[in-house]
Chains A and B, each alone.
Chain A
Amino acid sequence: MWIFNPNTVSDTANAVVETSKKQDTGWIMHHVLDARELDLSPFGVIHLPQIHLFGMDISLTKHVIFMWLAFLILVVTFIYMAKSYRKSLVPHGVTNLSEILIVFVRDEIAKPTIGKGFETFLPYLLTVFFFILTCNFLGLIPYGSTATSNISVTATLAVISFFVIQIGGMMKNGAFGYFKGLIPHGIPTWLLPIMLVVELLGLFTKPFALAIRLFANMTAGHIVILALLGLIIILHTYVIVPISIPFALFIYLLEIFFSLLQAYIFTMLSSLFIGMAVHQEH
């Protein structure tokens, strides 16, 4: 049983690194990273138009296209759903499925974490949940690409969350009251400067953690799958196939779970931070 021998494993890893230096392994990163074209091989490659505006490169990329695809899917699904409610209050088909998720976000995420006045933030939380969920799932279909495995996308979403949290807190407590409420009660005066810095840093670490968590989770799964499949090509042997394929499949299934989980966690934490900003007394 050579595969359980740690030396052999490190040898294998060495071999991987050695061969990777010799061969072109950019294809893993090529798959995970953003690109300026949609790679539909063997059917061909679609080159996306390049747009420059005010000296900035805002060219369409693979991840933009898949965000738009998610956008389209969500708009069509939910407008269809809203229309189906107009006909009858009894849900059918897609409506039934989406309703479960909507009620879940409302009753399990927004209501317990924000409490009173959660309705104001519900549209944002629902949108962010379904947008991330759809983007995650789009990465799991063939030729798909995960927009949420791009740090630019997750960071932007986290920054939007950050603004929602701060504005929500300021709307409830007033701008001054909100910043005053950040500092805990009953601390010595000489600690104030330090606490101010710590609390302000705390404000920024929250969205930073959100961005990194989503990005890392969505990227890692793909890299692991590709690395497992890549072993077959890199090692030039079929012996590895019975190991790589089941493992890749297992990771793939795990990714389905993580797609749901990460959408949930992002929404849950955003909601939690909103709740903390709105009800500072807790």
Chain B
Amino acid sequence: MISFLLMFVFSGGEEGGGSPLDVNPGLIIWTVVTFIILLLILKRFAWKPILNSLSERENFIKESLEKADKTQKDTEKLIADNKANISKAEEEAQKVIEQSRELAEKLKSQILEESRLQAKKMITDAAAEIERKNAEAFNRLKNQVADIAVDAAEKILRENLDKDKQVKLVNKYLDDLKN
């Protein structure tokens, strides 16, 4: 059947004037001219800019990826650094708080101690003062008593002789004293 079809094709071709294997010199020349001009035009105006753009874009993408990769690594490092810093700062803060608490504790006990001492001192001072005041009052009393005694003696001396009078006087004086 295939051979029949082939016969049919080629016999048909011969009748139609020319077979598919005919070579046409004009067509060859036109093919060469067309193809060479096409090659030159496309090479100059299309392939060069297109291929350049393609490689440019490929480089751009490659660089961008590399940059992104680098940025990511940097960021990770930064985050790790930050974390380390934060933990360090926290530690430090903890330490500072601890220290200040200790200091406050110390200060408190010191102040307490101081105030206790001061209070003690004040108490002692007050006691001494009271002592002193007591002594002073006692002295004054002693003086007064002496004065009164002298006064009484004087009065007694002035109102001499009369025993009754004397008794009365003494009583009166004693009453005076009571008041």
Residues of chain A having any CB pair with chain B under 8 Å: 9-10, 13-14, 16-17, 20-21, 24-30, 32-34, 51, 56-61, 63-64, 67-68, 71, 74-75, 78-79, 81-82, 85-86, 89, 99, 102-103, 106, 119, 122-124, 126-128, 130-131, 147, 149-153, 155-157, 160, 215, 219, 223, 227
Contacts and interface: CB of A to CB of B under 8 A. Distances in A.
A29 B30 contact: no
A123 B40 CA distance: 9
A24 B29 CA distance: 32
- Majority-rule SS of A interface residues: helix
A227 B8 CA distance: 10
A71 B51 contact: no
B35 A160 contact: yes
- Majority-rule SS of B interface residues: helix
Interface of B: 1, 4-5, 7-9, 11-13, 15-32, 34-39, 41-43, 45-51, 53-54, 56-57, 60
A28 B45 contact: no
Nearest to B29: A58
Contact of A223 (B9, B31, B37): B9
B20 A151 contact: yes
Contacts of B60: 89
A124 B24 CA distance: 24
A17 B42 contact: no
Given A61-B26, A82-B50, A102-B50, A26 B42 contact: no
A156 B32 contact: yes
A26 B31 contact: no
Nearest to B49: A82
Contact of A16 (B8, B30, B41, B49): B8
Contact of B38 (A57, A75, A122): A75
Given A34-B27, A122-B47, A71 B8 contact: no
B25 A9 contact: no
